[in-house]
Amino acid sequence: MKNTEKYSRSYFMPPVKSMKWMEKEYSTKAPLWCSVDLRDGNQALVVPLTLEEKLVYFQLLVKIGFKEIEVGFPAASETEYAFLRTLIEQDLIPDDVTIQVLTQSRDHIIEKTFECLKGVNKAVVHLYNSTSLAQREQVFKKSKEEIIDIAVTGAKLLQKYASETEGNFIFQYSPESFTGTELDFALDICNRVLDVWQPTADNQVIINLPATVSLSMPHVYASQIEFMSDHLNYRENVILSIHPHNDRGTGVADAELAMLAGGQRIEGTLFGNGERTGNVDIVTLALNMFTHGVDPQLDLENIPEIMATYERLTKMKVHERHPYAGKLVYTAFSGSHQDAITKGFKWREEKENENWKVPYLVIDPKDIGREYEGDIIRINSQSGKGGIGYLLEQQYSLDLPPKMRESFGYNVKNVSDQLNKELLPHEIYDIFINGYVNLKTPIEFIDYQFTKHDDFQTVLTIRINGDVQEISGVGNGRLDAISNALQTELGISYSDLVYKEHAQEIGSKSNAVSYIGITDINGTVYWGCGIDADIMNSSVKALFSAANNMLTYIQLPIQINSSLTIQ
């Protein structure tokens, strides 16, 4: 690409080595979650939420289990102000939920914020001002000391108005654009704010370090967080919060590594909505923890319902490949993937294993409200026998022999390839029924009679080209006798008969299902299936279906050696 010379590193490394986080494997407990959907997420919508929609969204977040919810910037607009007052006056905030509001470090804005908070049970007041080198030089044109003065002044104003306002308040400070701020300066400004607030064990405060713009690889952000965690004043009384954005597509990785580095609290949104490429996705973060056996302390057991409410209110769409939630993430088109997943399910059933280790599936879809049928296996020209066989077995109780699965799989893939489309389960079922089950052309089975002496003798009633005829055969069993009748009387030649049967239960009725494969003189195997309430009838129909497939394929003329046409 051109113009690479115009870009250079715009972040700052810690002045001392800060890499203890590398010694940890994963986070062993959930962070404090703070949803910023109703503020950071809402301001990024093409059409921001109405007051009524905000109330519905707030209830969704409470239902999921968020204990901290940023509800807006009440001094910014009448809608934001009215929403907060509605929550307070109508007593809509559960006792165990703390709301959070945002304010700039400006006297009249802080005053209006506290005015709006009157009567709240408990609230986090989130103070911020931008500290990055780029913002200081280009936007504010202020020195470091002038920027510190903005933060310190705001910190004192929070104390002043909190003491004059009914309610319980927790203070939070964010050096906005932290990732573009020199680390020694970021530490200095945070400590100056902490010196104003002087947190205690009974009156903790929050320092939030946002990747307002993601500027580095995740390990750099982790080192920045570790440096701050190690050097903040009053550290034992400070809740260290992180707020990653996703400009580089690494928001989740930034958050996970930052937690290893000392982050105790995470601000983010459902499905990552937010300015530009979005905030960190809390759904993904929480379910990543879940896959490591860590309870994320959020109820995500019905992702389809959560996603439907989110899409309806925000008018945003969750991508089909979105981690965990996307419509296609539990779907396999690849044949090798389908085969491995199918075998993984069977292994799990046989072993009754408690640990989830199904190939290609990092999570059990049922744990988040998804279903296997129609989700896990979908069929196109890239699919394989495993997935196609799995669909027939799960949805139609048809358990094909392995070699028949392979043969049928090629037929299905060819159809999909020719039509250039995905095949739905009912279409695959139709292909199987029309191509293998109870076939009547060119030979139709009508009836049979048996007599038993030293062996079995049969008289078969069949229809060929519209004529009803009888043929006879002898064998060591009923099916063997019928098979010999077909071969000796009709001149059909095959060997290596493969047989499988099982019950098929659909609804309140149960049928017998038989599968038969026969091999011609060239080694080609032809398959047939018979379905009937009677097991013997299903076996005979399977044999006739296999023979009909062979006759149709090789266009063998049928010669009746001795027969009686029934008038």
- pLDDT one-digit tens code per residue, 2-15: 898 888 889 999 99
pLDDT confidence of 421, banded at 50, 70, 90?
A: confident
Q: How far apart are CA 331 and CA 325, in angstroms?
A: 12
Q: How far apart are CA 486 and CA 472, in angstroms?
A: 8
Structure tokens at 21: 């986080």
Residue 414 has pLDDT above 70, yes or no: yes
Q: Residues annotated in the binding site, as ranges?
A: 40, 243, 245, 279
> What pLDDT score does 227 carry?
98
Residue 395 has pLDDT above 90, yes or no: no
- With contact defined as beta carbons under 8 Å apart, do 171 and 155 qualify? yes
Q: Which tens digits make up the pLDDT trace of 49-66?
A: 999 999 999 999 999 999
Domain boundaries, the chain: 31-314, 335-436, 443-565
Report the percentage of the chain scoring pLDDT > 90.
74
Alpha-carbon distances of 146 from 131, 495, 555, rounded to whole Å:
10, 93, 93
Q: What angle do CA 432, 437, 442 make, to 5 degrees?
A: 115
Residue 562 has pLDDT above 50, yes or no: no
Structure tokens at 563: 């027969």
> What pLDDT score does 490 carry?
86
Calculate mean pLDDT across residues 319-348.
84
> What pLDDT score does 337 carry?
78
- Give the fold, CATH level 3, of 31-314: TIM Barrel (3.20.20)
One-letter amino acid for residue 474 of the chain: V
> What pLDDT score does 465 carry?
81
- Stated as kind and residue range, the H or E segment containing 150 is helix 144-163
Residue 416 has pLDDT above 50, yes or no: yes
> What pLDDT score does 499 carry?
94
Q: How far apart are CA 81 and CA 85, in angstroms?
A: 6
Please tell me the pTM assigned to this model: 0.77
- With contact defined as beta carbons under 8 Å apart, do 509 and 517 qualify? no
Q: Which tens digits make up the pLDDT trace of 183-233?
A: 999 999 999 999 999 999 999 999 999 999 999 999 999 999 999 999 999
Measured in degrees and rounded to the nearest 5, phi and psi for residue 115 equal -60, -40
Residue 560 has pLDDT above 60, yes or no: no
> What pLDDT score does 333 carry?
72
Q: How far apart are CA 242 and CA 253, in angstroms?
A: 12
383 exposure class (CB count in 10 Å sphere: 0-12, 13-18, 19+): buried
Residue 386 has pLDDT above 70, yes or no: no
> What pLDDT score does 410 carry?
87
Residue 566 has pLDDT above 50, yes or no: no
pLDDT confidence of 379, banded at 50, 70, 90?
A: low
> What pLDDT score does 360 carry?
87
Kindly report which listed range (8-17, 332-341, 401-410) carries the lowest average pLDDT score. Answer: 332-341
One-letter amino acid for residue 378 of the chain: R
Query: Which listed CATH number (3.40.50.300, 3.30.160.270, 3.30.1360.120, 3.90.1300.10) goes with 443-565?
Result: 3.30.160.270
Calculate mean pLDDT across residues 508-521.
89
Three-state secondary structure readout of 99-112: EEEEEECCHHHHHH
- Identical fold, 31-314 and 443-565: no
Residue 166 has pLDDT above 50, yes or no: yes
Residue 528 has pLDDT above 80, yes or no: yes
One-letter amino acid for residue 274 of the chain: G
pLDDT confidence of 372, banded at 50, 70, 90?
A: low
Kindly report which listed range (97-111, 151-165, 178-192, 465-479) carries the lowest average pLDDT score. Answer: 465-479
Give the count of beta carbons closer than 10 Å to the beta carbon of residue 217: 14
**Selection from 345, 427, 419, 422 nearest residue 380 by Cα:** 422
CB within 8 Å of 320: residues ≥ 6 apart? 326, 327, 328, 329
> What pLDDT score does 457 carry?
93
Q: Residues annotated in the binding site for Mg(2+), as ranges?
A: 40, 243, 245, 279
**Selection from 516, 510, 513, 522 nearest residue 482 by Cα:** 516
pLDDT confidence of 151, banded at 50, 70, 90?
A: very high
